[in-house]
Amino acid sequence: MSMKLYNAQLSPYSARVRMAIYAKGIDVTLVDAFSDPMFMAELSRLSPLQKVPVLVHGDVVLPESEVICEYLEDIGIGPSLRPDDVAGRARTRLLARIGDLYIMAPMTMLFGHINPRGRDQAFVDRTLAALHEGMGWLDHYFTGSRYAVGDKLSTADCALVPILFFYKQIGPLFGYADPFANCKFVRDYYASLQNDPHAARVIDEIDTSLRRVMGVRG
């Protein structure tokens, strides 16, 4: 039974699902927001959330990246991205949860304040404080290993790689030349994981899309 993913290359949530798909070697048709003129009409028909990603697998229609990644694990196609032990599986969920709630959420609120001329500095200061606190929490749960949990790629890596890509990009826009300065374990993890082919592929896809949006060549 074929699968289709309604996707946006620049979306960290779509990237999370794509990374899981690549790692599991699943054949999925990607329908991209910027290449299909009927994209929004079709997306609205499928999901009242009207957000990417949305996975269609036969009669199953699923929004929400975390739910989709769990579904891909549950159907048992390709190598598992869940650790074998209960504690390891709990850690994957914890790290992804921290990434979603305490890093991606405040970071998203900063996107509207990138231009200094329209910036609410008091709001930015509060949001940056929350973001740095979240990064500190994430750093606390890292051990210095190549992968987030154990010795292989997991759903935690799929969640964190796109989030950390954007964290690295947004830091300098708010005066932080080295946004990873106070979170050494996360910095080393993100640098090391770029040697993983699936992580590297997703990072390249997001970077290429971001450059296209910003009108940057090369």
Beta strands in the chain, from DSSP E residues, in sequence order = 3-7, 28-32, 54-57, 60-63
- For tokens 């769990």, what's the residue? 70
pLDDT of residue 43: 86
According to the model, what pLDDT value does residue 1 have? 74
Chain segment 97-140, per-residue pLDDT in tens = 999 999 999 999 999 999 999 899 999 999 999 999 999 999 99
Q: What is the mean pLDDT of residues 30-39?
A: 80
How confident is the model over 65-70, as a mean pLDDT?
98
pTM assigned to the model: 0.94
Instruction: Quote the CA–CA distance of 57 and 157 in Å, as a whole number.
Output: 24
pLDDT at 185: 96
What integer best gives the mean pLDDT of the chain? 94
pLDDT for 86: 97
Look up the CATH number of domain 3-74.
3.40.30.10
Q: Looking at domain 86-214, which CATH architecture does it have?
A: Up-down Bundle (1.20)
Mean pLDDT of 204-208: 96
For the chain, give every domain's residue range: 3-74, 86-214
Can you give the pLDDT at residue 135? 97
pLDDT score at 216? 63
Rounded percentage of the chain residues whose pLDDT exceeds 70 = 98
Whether residue 102 contacts residue 130, with contact meaning beta carbons closer than 8 Å, is answered with yes
SS3 of residue 87 by DSSP: helix
Would the pLDDT of 218 be above 60? Answer: no
φ, ψ for residue 128, nearest 5 deg: -65, -40
